[in-house]
Structure 1
Amino acid sequence: MSHKPRRPRKTAQRILAIGLAAGVALGASGCGPDITGGDDAATSDRLAAPTEKSPKGEITIWDRSGDLYEVFDDAIEDFNKVYPDITVHHEAVDIDAKLQNTLITGTDVPDGVFLDDAKVAGLADSLWDLSDVLAPYVNDIAPQKVDVNSIGGGIYGVPFDSNPGLLYYNAAALEKAGVDASTIETYDDLLAAARAYKEAVPTAKPIHLEQSAFLGQLQLEMYASQLGTSIADADGALRLDSPEYKEILTFLDTVQTDGLGTRAEYLNATDIAELENGNQVFYPWAIWYSFATQQLLPETLGDWRAMPLPAWKDGGARSGAMGGSSFVIPRGGENSELAWLFYQFLMFDKAGYTAVWGPNDIYPNGLNTSIPSYQPAAQSDAPLFKPVDALGGQDLWAVATTAGAEIPRSVPTPSWWAGSVDYLGNNIQRMLDGDLTPDQVIGNSSDEIQKNLIDRQ
């Protein structure tokens, strides 16, 4: 085995990158294959598993630096117990800055790469179609994760994590104010609870309103995912002008105009201060917010809890996807089939996914900022990580896996998603400033995205 020694644990601010890595959706400039192509993917683009009983060789695997890199690095030792003759060269790389040029030049192409789901469609021309090797597992993978990796009849990523949206809430503050969080089942209920809390605590603006254009748009897509929609359809056509997006934007506009929201960038100084002083008590976000309760909120440590997101209507889905990542295998790598064995082990072998999500040197209680997308690994009665002390000992595994099972199916993220932040993300902020209505956000953003991004592809 040949891989880099594990680095010391990061500070709380470095741990912040874990959540952002889970949710980042930085776009790629490549257009990717025609996503209307149906099921006629060329068989030459399909990766086949190695047939040797004891495969041998070397692979280069790229991951981002940070705690996830260390988790995967530690798992190499377990992988080599199964495949002792495969040497893994594990490299910490700025993937966003380096991967696309590497694929274009074809020089020193890695065998496997950790990649944001939102980038898969834009780079799929350079990636192996993994339909054949994933065939034994695909029916047991969260459907939303299969969908975001499916383009033109092929599957171009090995799904890694599920990032179910949850409602984090300050249970101690709500109880003191006489607000019963257990009554929150819909977003109307959330508004009612926020109004009741504000009446008891006049300085409060109880619900988090994201002030970053990028993260605000990512959160918008989480809400849209609950309603079974997204910014583009399966053919890449814009579908922002819809009743679903109007409902979500109207909710956000109501939170702002009724004084029920704290506008702050995700976990900046203002955000943290308002969380700690009890003015901001509801945080609708992906599971990866859990690290904040453990690392960044010492004054309210143990006061927070998590529940599934409210539904948009009675009986509706109680969660949506907010970001996510997968593993891709570039066609230019020297030992692509061996890279598949590495990812097959990490995601579908009990020893592998236990090494990733279970207790380890990096996370002594387990990796609790995401859950596996492989459903046999995400059975709520067989938790991989332990209850979270910072959440009052709550069984976050049970909450998250239950919520994750409700995420509706999805479609690939268009390659122009990040560019759309200049329009939709910024227009959401203008709405929260009072300069635009929800209808104007939809109309203006649709026109701008179509003209400046889609029509120019």
Structure 2
Amino acid sequence: MISTARLGLRGIGLASVMALALGLSACGSSDNSGAQSAGDVDAALKKGGSLTVWTWDSTMTQVAEDFEAAHPKVKIKIVNAGTGEDQYTALQNAISAGKGVPDIAQIEYFALGQFSLAKSLVDLSGYGADKLTGSFSPGPRNAVTSGDKVFALPLDSGPMALYYNKKIFDKHKIEVPRTWDEYVTAAEKLHKADPKVFITNDIGDAGFTTSMIWQAGGRPYKVDGTKVSVDFSDAGSTTYTKTWQKMIDGKLLAPVESWTDEWFKGLGDGTIATLATGAWMPTNLETGAPKTAGDWRVAPLPQWKAGAAAGAENGGSSLAIPEASPHKELAYAFMEYANAGAGVKSRVDNGAFPATTADLESKEFLAKKFDYFGGQEANKIFSASASQVADDWSYLPFQVYANSVFNDIVGKAYVSNTKLAQGLADWQKASLAYGKDQGFTTG
């Protein structure tokens, strides 16, 4: 399973302890206590200037070119400073050094808290972002706001769906599962029919696990400023672990790491038959398993309760303005264009999945036929999923660190006698211990 890849980019395993983790000294290192002055965005556009944008999103290059064409006095430099962890480390280092900080940075939703709590990001509400937040789907909207503050604008989103190989399902007479219990049954039937075929792969993935708990109604993370708590014994977490333990005990999961050559081979030869992941996946399937074009389909994410309609986000990112940027008004103008203006269509046309409800609900978007999925209008499923995401999910303000140690701790449940519930309990202890060491009040 996967959680962070988008637009043809492979997912990132957060494998090392990062200097991004916050201590209380960092939390109090800025005197920024409220929204920034709105300034004069129009005046900034007329005056022009240069912007540096750190992003791994390949669609942003065209957006920048279009923006420059509309505003000839503005020059935009797109820089790929790395994906995920690599960029966050570079960004934190630049902020600490006080030089080399970009005007705009792409930050995944789960990592936003580490920068916003350290007061390293501009509160965009003073520029009018507070009036834009209603334009985004629930999950991304919740991720970029904190009270009346807005620390970023959603760039894309990852409402989850089930991608399945219809050819394999038809061959073995497998019905598309509507619940996770039916998914387990399908996994058993499929693997019994052909021991070389697995319904999916999973060796332990923090993003997938938290997304599944999110959909199940679990809310293990509570965050109130520098006070945090973690509880993986809540009802939603327990629902997930009991079901997924059956998959582990039955050896129904392909022991293959996502985003490897072996993984793409499995998707292409039918030995990995489904993926439950974000709406950004189509491009990855098209490029990574091109020979199975026409074999795959998209279905709604299986539910924990029959007849329910609950979704979750898996992946997705935002654009934010670092406090150190000297071009805040101009940066906001470009960011609004890219995330909520004409730039959105350009990005969607080039394979991005939007976070803006207007685009998610547009007739053109919903009617798009995906040749890879046999002409299916898959966006209808993705759009519905986006609207079904509960907007009360929280990540830890040191989630990047927590995710980085997931496989060392919870991963044991996939290769030993350790139960998944115990693995999550151990992850909980490790996360809280780390938070306490960094100066957070934990409970």
TM bin (shorter chain): 0.7 to 0.9
Unaligned runs of 5+ in 2: none
The yes-or-no answer on 1:18 pairing with 2:9 is yes
The answer to whether the 8 Å contact 2:14/2:404 transfers is no
Q: Distance in 2 between matches of 1:280 and 1:93?
A: 33
Q: 1:247 aligns with which of 230, 236, 239?
A: 239
The yes-or-no answer on 1:433 pairing with 2:408 is no
Q: Distance in 1 between matches of 2:6 and 2:161?
A: 20
1:121 maps to 113
Deviates more, 1:325-334 or 1:291-300: 291-300
The yes-or-no answer on 1:269 pairing with 2:264 is no
Q: Distance in 1 between matches of 2:367 and 2:102?
A: 31
Q: Distance in 2 between matches of 1:51 and 1:276?
A: 50
Q: Distance in 2 between matches of 1:198 and 1:446?
A: 33
State the one-letter code of the partner of 2:152: G
Q: How does 1:378-417 map to 2 (within 5 A)?
A: 378-383=360-365, 386-417=368-399
SS in 1 for 2:277: strand
Q: Displacement, 1:102?
A: 1.4
The answer to whether the 8 Å contact 2:44/2:329 transfers is no
The answer to whether the 8 Å contact 1:145/1:373 transfers is yes
Q: Displacement, 1:54?
A: 5.3
Q: Displacement, 1:385?
A: 9.2
The yes-or-no answer on 1:334 pairing with 2:326 is yes
State the Cα deviation string for residues 206-232 of structure 1 (Å, max 9, x = none): 322322x5xx11100111221344441
State the Cα deviation string for residues 361-405 of structure 1 (Å, max 9, x = none): xxxxx31xx421111121152318943222222222222111111
Unaligned runs of 5+ in 1: 1-13, 359-365
When residues 337 and 438 of structure 1 are mapped into structure 2, their CA distance, relative to the original with a 3 A threshold, is: same
Q: Distance in 2 between matches of 1:384 and 1:79?
A: 26
State the one-letter code of the partner of 2:79: E
Q: Displacement, 1:289?
A: 2.9
Q: How does 1:288-327 map to 2 (within 5 A)?
A: 288-327=280-319
TM-score with structure 2 setting the length: 0.85
The answer to whether the 8 Å contact 1:33/1:152 transfers is no
SS in 1 for 2:174: coil
State the one-letter code of the partner of 1:226: Q
Q: Distance in 2 between matches of 1:85 and 1:278?
A: 52
2:131 maps to 136
Q: Indicate the RMSD between aligned Cα atoms, in angstroms.
A: 3.0
Q: 1:167 aligns with which of 147, 154, 162?
A: 162
2:428 maps to 446
The number of aligned residues is 420
SS in 1 for 2:163: strand
Q: 2:212 aligns with which of 218, 223, 247?
A: 223
Q: Displacement, 1:85?
A: 2.7
State the Cα deviation string for residues 278-313 of structure 1 (Å, max 9, x = none): 332121122233233212224423201111210111
State the one-letter code of the partner of 1:157: A
When residues 77 and 25 of structure 1 are mapped into structure 2, their CA distance, relative to the original with a 3 A threshold, is: farther
Q: 2:335 aligns with which of 337, 343, 353?
A: 343
Q: Distance in 2 between matches of 1:381 and 1:32?
A: 48
Q: Displacement, 1:149?
A: 1.9
State the one-letter code of the partner of 1:280: I
State the one-letter code of the partner of 1:241: S
Deviates more, 1:329-338 or 1:202-211: 202-211
State the one-letter code of the partner of 1:197: L
